[in-house]
Every structure is written in structure tokens, then in C-alpha cells.
Structure 1
Amino acid sequence: MITIGIDPHKSSLTAVAIDASGHPIGQRRFAVNSGTFRQLTSWAEAWPQRRYAVEGANGLGRGIAQQLAAAGEHVHDVPATLSMRARLLTTGGGRKSDSADALSVAHVALYRHDLKVVTPEDQTTILRLLSERRDDLAHERARILNRLHALLRELIAGGAATGLSADKAAALLRTVRPATATQALRRDLARDLLADLRRIDQRLKDNETQTRDALAATGSTLTNIHGVGVVLAAKILGHVDDVTRFRTADHFASYTGTAPLDASSGDQVRHRLNTGGNRQLNAALHTIAVCQARDPGPGRVYYQRKLAEGKTPAEARRALKRRLSNVIYRRIRKDQQRAADNVA
């Protein structure tokens, strides 16, 4: 089996082929254009038994990785951190070049058997795109609200109360009677921001409608879990992708950053907080944990039991997040198994 490592860039990609022992047997650089895929596959035809490893298949390498996967090629996603470590461990002082990077990518794929397999984009990709778009809109809305709040503070004695909305801002602006040209300009700018705020609010509503339809198409039952709404379910499914790539619930918890890290040494056994993992999934689990710790139900019972054991609120909440990671993992696996049975 030949492994072809690919180091992608915006304007070019470099491919290096290695044999089963890790020795380079071919190398080529391709310009990124409409013919890149055809040129790459034509070059790779020299090795019928082959597989590809693409660095950052969800980033710069997404285009070529998806084209290869759609063509039925076996493609692995190699994180940039792994290829960097592989390059630093080679002889040569960790010198960096496109060919050296592509060789490191191939070596990682050769010796690591737990890499994510790239699959053609499906409904989970749609959910992730919608989720990311919602995050962008929410950040833009917060920026507009902050600026509008600042202008209203300068126009109205006492400013505006917290929890400002488009309707509340419009009502406040109707009371403004500018006495100077400067105040008149502030009012006009506030009206422009109000129009932007209404536009963003409408786009957020449209995004939620699209997300709800896309989530329904997956047949997911994640929203049956207390604290998981349409938005959080879409974010979780969009980032998890194919849950079968996680062998166990513990593997999944490590990916979500909810499993503590072993920091033992000698006879001392201890663990520390995991600040790695997928931070989007970690944030989603945190939101669910906060909801369940607040509202009556099994989650609150578990949270209170941890408090009774002497844990701080933050520690009890992290323990609940770890338990929720298992619940989410089992639920997604069950949903995907049911969908597979229905297709069969």
C-alpha cells in the first residue's frame, strides 16, 4: 500500500508518495486550479494500491480532500499538530519545506491508525455551516447592540436599560429631540444601527428555520435531552460528524475536552483539567450542564450529589459535563444505527 501525503496551500499543493516502509518514492507540486484534481489523480495512477493523507482536510485541504473522497479514494485527515511533531522528530533539525511537510503528513498516516477518514459532505456538513453562520450573526448582533447602547447613553439621560432589543431601542429613539447638530447626527447613526439590528434579527430567525429543517432531515433525537435545543443539536452534530470514528465513550470525551488528563507521577496519582479538545463541543456541553444543574431532573440530582461530596460548583459542573458527554455519545450512536438499519 502506497501512502500519498498532501501539504495544501492556497495557490499550490505538494504531494509525496511513500512505500510501506516509509521511504519516499515520488514527489510532485501542483498549482491549485480547475485541473488540480485531474493532474493529481493522473500522477497517482502509477500506484493502484494507494491511499491519501491530507493535512487539514477541514481547512485548506478541504477542497482536494472532498474531491478525492467523492471519487471513491481512501482519504485520511491529518491534523497539522501531528504532522509538525512528525517533522520535528525526523533527522534534519526540523527544517521546513512543502515537500518535508507532505512527507511528514504521509508518515503520520502510515503509523497512526486512529486518523479520521474523510467522507463526502453530507447533512452534518450543512448543520455545521449553519451553526457557524449563526455564530457569526450572533457576534455581529452583539457588536451592533453595544454600539447602539453607547449612542443611546449619549442621547438619553440615564442611557438605556440592559436587555436592549430593536423594539425597545426604537421606542427610546422616538423620544429623542436633538438640540444640536452633533446630537442629530448621533440620532441618525442610532437609526442606522437599529436598521442593521433588525436585519440581523431577521437573518437569525431565517437561520434557525433552516437549521430546524436540516436537523429534522437527520432524524436526530438529541433535542429530547433536556437542555439541548435545535441550535445546540446542530452544533453538536456538525462538529461530531461520524460518531463511529470514536471507538468508545471515553475516546469521545477526550475529543470534547471533558475527560480530565492524567498528571500522575511516581506514587502520586492526580488529574488536571483538560483545556484541549474541540472547544465548540465543550462549550455546548457546558451550556447543557448549566441548564440541567439549574432545572429539576436527573442532571440536577447528579450535580447536587457531587456538591454533597465536597466538590466546588465548578468541579460538580465539570463532572456533569463528563456524564453528559457519555449520554450524547450513546444517543448519536443509537440515532446513526437506526438510520443505517432503515436504509438497509
Structure 2
Amino acid sequence: VRYVNALQSDLRAVCPGLLEITGNAANLWFLRFLTTPRTLTGLAGVRRSSLLAIPGVGAGYADAIQAWQKRAHFAREAAWAGDMIRKDAARVLELGEEIKALEGDIARIASEIAQLLRSMPGFGPICCAELASEIGAIGRFRDEGGLALYLGMANLDRSSGQTRGSKAPRHVNRRARMAMMTATDRHRKQVVQSQRYYEKKRAEGKTHNQAVRALGRHLCRVIFKMLTTNRPYRIET
């Protein structure tokens, strides 16, 4: 954003009217156009055939660029600011490629997480995909308690001295919490041990949601271990 804002500001000052062709300097075709000639003033002389060779530039944009070229005007600062503008445009393009690569890595990691979560009975494809995308890299959580807080399965400990208590955390990923609650409720219906744990909590006076959440807190320990060791779920016998 910083590079784009600086680029737009410089273009308005050095080359009035150029930015109006697109209205947004972050458009990929516009960034490629800026980096096509060796100098900023060279933009006024780029031929139509070269314009149409730029990915994203069709006949419509080529017409708009050629119309601008006929009235192109550059401020005196273009002599020294032009190179800076071209470098900023190139950097924005580079950042775009880096972001694409990161998104690919995130998608791959999310896919791996989803596959591990799918090994848990009751954890269906939709809930697993939701949880995987929201959890991201498990390494960003210090421990299973942090994961449980993030998924809304645990309260913050507010005990101090002789006072004991807890409170619901403010920053809970609601989408992940909903997915976790749904998956946990389905899970306990398929795993005897989990169903017994749920029934135990109900016998203690907890509501359905409270009992499911308590089970979810336990499953967060399991999930954290699964993801940190890269091992699928297995029922302890």
C-alpha cells in the first residue's frame, strides 16, 4: 500500500493525466506499462504493437494510452523522479509475485492441516477446511492453550492471589469457533470416549453448549499435538 500510494502521488505530480487512464496505479497492466520503456518520458513513445503485447492491455486501454500520448506532459522533475517511479512500479510487481507465492504456501499448509483434521471422526470436509484456513501455521501458537483460546474453546484465567475466576476472551475467531463447535458435537456422537466425557459434563450441570465446549477444549490438546507432530488422529485405548 505504501508503494502504491507513493507511486500515485508521484505520477500526479510528475506526469499529470497519466493515472487517469486507469485510476488505480496497482493495476498490473498499468505497472507493466510503466516499466516498459527505459525512462518515464519514454511512455509517450511506446508503439501500439508494444502496448498490445503487454499482458492485460487490450484495444480499449491501448486507445486510451495513445490518446494520452498525444497530450502527454512531464514536469521537470521527471528527469530524476522518473527512475524512482519506475523502480516503485517494479517493486509493486515483485511484491505481487511474492504475495502469490505466500498464498500458495498458505494454501498448501492449510491443505495439509485439513487432511490431518479429516482423520478425526466427525470432522467433515467443510469444518476441516474452515479450521485449516483459520488456524494457518500451527507454529504461531505457543501452546495448545493459545490454540484453544483462538478457537473459542477456553476462557482467559483471571485468577490472582486468593481470587479465582475466568472470563471469555475478546479476540476469538468466530468462524473457527463455529466450525469447532459443529465438528466437536459430531465427533462425540462417533467416539465413545468423547460421548462419555460429554455426558459427564452434562451430569455436572453444564448446558449442551458448555459440555461441547469443554470437550472441544480437550480436543484442542489433541489437535495441537497432531499438527505439531504431523500425525493423524488415533483413539487411545
- TM-score normalised by structure 1 residue count: 0.38
Structure 1 position 225, deviation (Å): 0.5
Equivalent residues in 2 for 1:168-207, closer than 5 Å: none
Structure with greater strand share of residues: 1
> How do residues 1-344 of structure 1 correspond to structure 2 at under 5 angstroms?
8=1, 12=5, 31-34=25-28, 35=31, 38-39=87-88, 67-68=97-98, 120-122=102-104, 124-125=106-107, 215=111, 220-264=115-159, 267-274=162-169, 276-335=171-230
Kindly state the Cα deviation for residue 127 of structure 1 after the two structures are TM-superposed. 9.1
Aligned partners of 2:98, 2:225: CA distance in 1, in Å? 31
What runs of 5+ residues in structure 2 fail to find an aligned partner?
8-23, 32-84, 233-237
After superposition, the Cα gap between the structure-2 partners of 1:263 and 1:127, relative to the gap in structure 1 and judged at 3 Å, is: same
| Alpha-carbon distance, 1:67 to partner | 3.9
Seen in structure 2, the aligned counterparts of structure 1 residues 304 and 275 have a Cα distance that, compared at 3 Å, is farther
Where does structure 1 lack aligned partners over 5 or more consecutive residues?
A: 1-7, 15-29, 44-62, 71-118, 129-214, 338-344
Q: CA deviation at 1:279?
A: 1.4
Please give the alpha-carbon distance, in whole angstroms, between the structure 2 residues aligned to 1:259 and 1:13.
44
- Aligned partners of 1:225, 1:37: CA distance in 2, in Å? 52
**Cα contact 1:257–1:275 (8 A) shared by 2:** no
Q: Which has the higher helix share?
A: 2
**1:249-279 per-position Cα deviation (integer Å, ceiling 9, x unaligned):** 1122222222202344664311123353211
Cα 1:67/1:42, change in 2 over 3 Å: closer
Q: 2:78 — aligned with what? A: none
How far 1:126 moved relative to its partner? 7.3
Change (3 A) 1:245 1:267: same
* CA positional deviation for 1:42: 6.2
User: Per chain length, whose mean CA-contact separation is higher, i.e. which structure has more relative contact order (CA < 8 Å, sep 6+)?
Assistant: 2
Report the alpha carbon displacement of residue 37 of structure 1 after superposing the two structures with TM: 9.7
Secondary structure of 1:304's counterpart equals helix
Letter in 2 for 1:286: M
CA offsets 1:1-47 (integer angstroms, 9 cap, x no match): xxxxxxx38x7379xxxxxxxxxxxxxxx95344389517769xxxx
Amino acid corresponding to residue 222 of structure 1 in structure 2? L
Q: Counterpart amino acid of 1:125?
A: A
RMSD: 3.9
Answer whether contact 2:113 2:132 (CA < 8 A) is retained: no
Report the Cα distance in structure 2 between the residues aligned to 1:65 and 1:336, rounded to whole angstroms.
34
Closer, same or farther: CA 263–324 of 1 in aligned 2, 3 Å: same
The number of residues matched between the two structures is 160
Equivalent position amino acid for 2:107 in 1: T
Pick closer, same or farther for the CA change 1:303–1:69 going to 2, 3 Å: same
Question: Is the CA contact (8 Å cut-off) linking 2:138 and 2:224 kept in structure 1?
Answer: yes
Give the Cα–Cα distance (whole angstroms) in 2 for the partners of residues 332 and 13 of structure 1: 42
What SS is found at the alignment partner of 1:12? helix
CA–CA distance in 2 between the matches of 1:304 and 1:124? 38
